[in-house]
Every structure is written in C-alpha cells, then in structure tokens.
A and B are shown apart, each in its own frame.
Chain A
Amino acid sequence: MLINLPDEQLVELAKGQDPDAFGEIVRRWERKIFALCFGMLGREDDAGDACQEAFIAAYKNLANFRGEAKVSSWLHRIAVNQCLTIKRRQKTRAEDFLDDEDGSQDKVFVAAAHLSPARKTEQAERMHLVRSAVGALPGELREVIVMKEFEDMTFQEISETLELPLSTVKSRLYTALKQLKMKLERTPVEVV
C-alpha cells in the first residue's frame, strides 16, 4: 500500500512516527541518492557513507520539510551537504597524511556484497536496461559516454580524439546522460 503513495504523503506519515513510511522513502530513493553521492565523491565506499548519513539527516529533519519543494529536491540538497561535509573531512585528513595523496585510491571498486537471488535478478535486469539505453543513444552521444566511462579519458583527450571543441564534448556528454536518464526512468526496474 505504501508503494502507491506519493513522496509527500509518505513524508507526512513518517512525521507521524510511521517507520515503514520512511523505509519506503529510503527504498524508493536510495539508489538515486547513492548515485548523486557517487557523482560528487567518485568512490563507492565514500558514496555509501554519504548516502547513509544523508538519510539519517533526512530522518532527523523530517519536521523541517514544509512541502515547499519536492521531496526529491529536499533529499538531493541534504545529500549534497553530506557529500561536501565528507569532502571537507577528507581534505583535512589528506593534509594530515600527505602520503595518501598519490591518487592511487581515486577510483576503488568495492567488492560486491553477497546479493540475494531477487537482488541478482534485479541487477541483471538493470544491466540489460542500461545496455539497451546506451545502445539506443545516437552514435555521437554514445561514443562520448564510452570514452569517458569505459576508456576513462579526460575531456581534453576526447576533444583531441574527436577533433571537437571542448565545450562541444561537455555538452554532448551532458546531453547523453540526460537522455540516458530519461530512457532509464521510462522503464523502471521494480525491486522485488
């Protein structure tokens, strides 16, 4: 029943001390908030920490949500603040331990946790969906995404490779990601 309720109503229920309502909010938004944190921090483990702290902060500040903005925007802002806090903390830590600044841990793949069969099925469906969505992009947008995400090239390198202005490369990547997001949301994967 909670699954069918809009975000704003779930927040009102959560304000009334309904733990399942806030649990539904978390389930509904955890992946997107995690992605936002990953976009800001660039590491999965840091993104996981930021995501956890963001939802805790949201739960503590439920009373401050007045419905002026969408729930998604409210959660986004909380997550951004948590990410910036973590960044500042990391910066201070890096200044204390200069040896850790060699950049060897810029992009760390965290070992996948043990997934239930239902989660595995969901993930497989999601991968299929992403593959189809990327494949459906126009070639000029797809090549930029592949160069950036798969080849780990900088914008400057992509610009030189494709002989395009730097601004065009950034614009194409932004457009590609926006289109990809729309395609992914059009056919959402249901969590079992």
Chain B
Amino acid sequence: MVNSANRECGFEHEIVSYMYDELGAAERTQFESHLVDCTSCTDKFAAVSFARFSVFEWQKEEFAHLATPEIVIPYEARKVVVEKAGWFVGFAEAFAFARSPLAVSGAFAVLIVLGFIGFNLVGTGGNEIASNIVPPVVIEQRVETPKALNSLIAIVDQDPIISEEVRPVTAASREVRPKLARPTSPLRRVVENRAVPNPTRQARRAPVLSDLGDDDEDSLRLSAMFDEIGG
C-alpha cells in the first residue's frame, strides 16, 4: 500500500473523471488498480464522493420529483394582438382626439371621399397637361430641315386619320418654332427617326378593320415624306 498523503501521485486529476464514469476502459482499470494501493487517492475520492452524494441527494429530494414545467407560448393571442395593432389601430391613434370608433370610421369615410375627388381632379388635369406636351427634340430637328417639316405638317394637317388631339400639337409647334430655333447649331443629326410626330395614346390605338383602307394611304404618305427628307 502506498501512503502518499503528502505527495502528488499523478492520479488526482482522474478522480472526478472516474467518479462520473468518463474514463476509457484502460484508464479506468489503471485508476482502479492505483486506488487499491493509494491511501491518499482513496481518501480524496471518499471526500469528493461525499460532497457529490450530498448534492445528488439534495437534487433528488428537492428537484427530481418536480415535473418539468410546461411552457406554453400563446402564439394565437400574440397573433390577435398583431392584428389589432394593424392599420385600423394606427388610424385610430392618428385620430386619437375622436373618442368613439364611430367617429373614427366617419373620419375615415370622409378621407376616402376626399381622396376620390382629389384623384379625379388630378386625373383630369393630367390629361390636359399630357395633351399639351410638345416633344422639344422634334422641334429642334425640324429647324434644320424646315422644308421637310413644313411638308410633314402639311401632311399631318390634311390627314383625316390622325386624331383631333394631334392637330393642336402641330399648330403649337409651328408657333413656338422661331423661339426655340437654333439655326447655328453645328449638330447634324439624322432626322428620319425623330421627325415623326409623337402620337398621343389615342393616335397609337390598335388598328380596327374599318381603318384598313386608310392605313395604306397613310403609309404611302409617310414614305413620300421620308423620300423628301432624304432628298
């Protein structure tokens, strides 16, 4: 028997591993062989075993019989809260001065009506503005080729297919032409693709059967125009 009470035997750090059964088979056998002969390790093992058993007993007496608490997270309730905190609640908070839900609903209805009216007004104004838009590039290009432009304007004016809304555009462009003219511009651009008047939405509508005959005439006129421009 080794009485090594006052010196390290090298197995001390294996005591807890052995006690909790976390040694390999070979190490376990080696430690057990050592434990039989080493009084110091036996006493130390007994000491930590006593402490460990006290904790084990405490755990068993006071905690082991307690059922694991069932934690229930109220997902459904949370969902309801989220729904309540949606747009209507936000709207009601914005109108916090109104005490009752009826008042909030009334204010909401008034807002909807105002929004509808406003939308209609803006829509009408937008159409008017759109009809007065003149493509400035087209005007500048026409200055360089006044002859071709005049021909084009003449063609457009006489064309019954082009809608009524296009005519004011051509007229307006004729009026503003001197103002925007830059005769000394050194740029020499190809006009074919840009000299064509930009038709409005109505003018670009899909062809119908009744237009077929006139389409042929229109294409002929355009080709004549291109020839003239090119010449």
Chain A residues within 8 Å of B, Cβ to Cβ: 31-36, 38-40, 42, 69, 72-73, 76-77, 79-81, 84, 87, 109, 123, 126-127, 130-131, 133-134, 145, 148-150, 154-155, 167, 170-171, 173-174, 177-178, 180-181, 184
Select A177's contact among B1, B51, B58, B62, beta carbons within 8 Å: B51
In the docked arrangement, what's the CA distance between A114 and B60, Å?
16
Classify chain B: how many residues form its interface, as a range: 35 or more
Partner of A69, one of B3, B50, B55: B3
**How far is B60's CA from A127's CA once the two chains are assembled, in angstroms?**
10
Residues of B within 8 A of A (CB): 1, 3, 12-13, 15-17, 19-22, 32, 35-36, 39, 42-43, 45-64
A39 interface neighbour in B1, B22, B52, B58, Cβ under 8 Å:
B52
Which of A80, A171, A174 is within 8 Å of B36, CB to CB?
A: A80
Are the C-beta atoms of B17 and A155 separated by less than 8 Å? yes
Q: List 23 A-B contacts (CB under 8 A).
A: A32-B46, A32-B50, A35-B52, A36-B45, A38-B52, A39-B49, A69-B39, A72-B43, A76-B42, A76-B43, A87-B32, A123-B61, A131-B58, A134-B58, A148-B20, A150-B63, A170-B17, A177-B16, A178-B47, A178-B51, A180-B51, A180-B55, A181-B51
Specify which of B21, B39, B53 lies most central, judged by the most chain A CB atoms within 10 Å of its CB.
B53
Q: How far is the CA of A36 from the CA of B56 in the complex (A)?
A: 13
Q: How far is the CA of A125 from the CA of B156 in the complex (A)?
A: 111
Q: Is the CB of A178 within 8 A of B48?
A: yes
A127 contact set on B, CB distance < 8 A: 57-58, 61-62
